[in-house]
Amino acid sequence: MVDFSLTEGDQRFLDLIQEEYELGRKFAREVDREAEHKPPVVKTLHPALEGKPDPYELLHESDEGTSGHIMVDALMHMVSAKDLDMRPEGLGFGSMVLEDFGTDEQKAKFGHLRLAIGLTEPGAGSDPGNMASTWRYDAATDEYVLNGEKVFISAINKLDGAVTLLRGVPDEQGRRVFSSFIITKDMKGFHEMQQFQKLGMHQFDIAGFTMDDIRVPAINRLEADFGRTMSRFNHNRPLVAAGALGLCRSMLDFTKAKLAEGGIEVDYARGVKARSAAEDKIIRMEALWEAAWGTVMEVKWKQTQLGTTSLGYRTEASMAKAIGGKAARQITQGCLELLGPEGLSEDYLAEKWFRDARIADIYEGAGEIQRILVARDVLGYKKGELN
């Protein structure tokens, strides 16, 4: 049965996370101003959360009485803006790839590591085919030798290492085979670079690293080729959209509250000719928000049915990411337009949300890349027929 009700269990988790996000909001401005100028520190539990259970941990321990943890996870991302990471860095994206595709032996050896995902290079982001970094096999020592540079790697300064996707040096047929490796920061030849200064998301660090003849044994090579490494995206892309929608929810609520103080209240009953331009704009932005919400929840429902490693929901995942990225841009831009000059002030978080939201349509596959994937599916085209 089609159903959009939240269970009591769902609501309990939403309340918990909402409370945590609101606590974080008090420190948001300070962190936004300072994070990038302070040397990155290994993050510990924020004192404000002392003694409070981690809602995500609770959810994974027991999702009884809820719509299921995949669904609730997405709903939690959408309740409001997450301005601050207040808990120690969890397992990174790379750790999830290890979990999905590592052998038992690899999981036993590396499972405790917190691993970033290292894909992007200065000359290769959307197009991994352009990767210049390399791996080669050294038969003399039975080792793999890794070289090259990665950039924009999330949280690499706080994590233990990365799962990095590289291309082999050309084989006999001239092919450059993709392969993923587990590398750690203590390896000889690993050099972490300075973190990047950026438009927004200051609470969230990105940095690059170089690999200078890093030598790793065979056990560090994952049976995760390009497709497998990327398949985790199907789970994650809708969550990126969901996070952006959470931010937009805060932005819309703030904008509506401020307009209401000035006497502009949104009336959803009236038609288009009985409302002001400001009301109309809010309604159109909220409509886009709902459109994206429905799309995110549909793919999460499908993921629940099919299982996370299934490829059966990848087009829907791209659709969710594309509409979420669009919503993030249009809603934050539109709200600041409505808020006017007062919205530019650092006294409020609106200008921060405007800066933070912009990345949503870029990382984990930019909007254009998602549209290529959706269009290929609708049109029955393969890679090479539509790029």
Ligand X SMILES: Cc1cc2nc3c(=O)[nH]c(=O)nc-3n(C[C@H](O)[C@H](O)[C@H](O)COP(=O)(O)OP(=O)(O)OC[C@H]3O[C@@H](n4cnc5c(N)ncnc54)[C@H](O)[C@@H]3O)c2cc1C
* Integer Rg of the chain from CA: 22
Burial-class residue 145 by CB neighbours within 10 Å (0-12, 13-18, 19+): middle
Q: What are phi and psi of 153, to 5 degrees?
A: -85, 120
Quote the tokens at residue 277: 């331009």
Closest to another protein by CB, 152 or 313: 313
Return the SS3 of 221.
strand
Angle at Cα 237 formed by Cα 364 and Cα 185, nearest 5°? 50
Quote the tokens at residue 237: 């892309």
Query: Residue 272 to residues 145, 228, 277, 283, 346: CA-CA distances in angstroms?
Result: 64, 48, 9, 10, 34
Q: Which stretch binds another protein (CB under 8 A): 50-58, 192-200, 215-223, 270-278?
A: 270-278
Angle at Cα 147 formed by Cα 143 and Cα 153, nearest 5°? 115
Which residue of 274, 277, 340, 347 would you call a contact of another protein, by CB under 8 A?
A: 274
Closest to ligand X by CB, 49 or 369: 369
Q: Which stretch binds another protein (CB under 8 A): 78-86, 144-152, 159-167, 296-304?
A: 296-304
Q: Least distance to another protein from the beta carbon of 53, Å?
A: 23
Q: Least distance to ligand X from the beta carbon of 60, Å?
A: 22
Q: Does 192 bind another protein (CB under 8 A)?
A: no
351-370 mask for ligand X (x: CB under 6 A)? --------x--xx--x-xx-
- Other C-beta atoms closer than 10 Å to the C-beta of 17 total 24
308-347 mask for ligand X (x: CB under 6 A)? ----------------------------------------
Q: Least distance to another protein from the beta carbon of 22, Å?
A: 24
Q: Does 387 bind ligand X (CB under 6 A)?
A: yes
User: DSSP string spanning 128-140?
Assistant: GGG---EEEEETT
Report the site for ligand X in 91-130 (rule: CB under 6 A): 116-120, 125-127
Which residue of 58, 62, 381, 383 would you call a contact of another protein, by CB under 8 A?
A: 381
Q: Does 226 bind ligand X (CB under 6 A)?
A: no
* Tokens 């309604």 sit on residue: 283
In the complex, residue closest to ligand X by CB: 125
Report the site for another protein in 48-87 (rule: CB under 8 A): 66-67, 71, 75
Greatest CA separation for the chain: 79
Burial-class residue 2 by CB neighbours within 10 Å (0-12, 13-18, 19+): exposed
Chain residues in the site for another protein (CB under 8 A): 1-7, 10, 66-67, 71, 75, 267-274, 283-284, 286-288, 290-292, 294-295, 297-298, 301-302, 316, 319, 322-323, 368, 370-372, 374-375, 378-381, 385-386
Chain residues in the site for ligand X (CB under 6 A): 116-120, 125-127, 152-154, 201, 206, 359, 362-363, 366, 368-369, 387
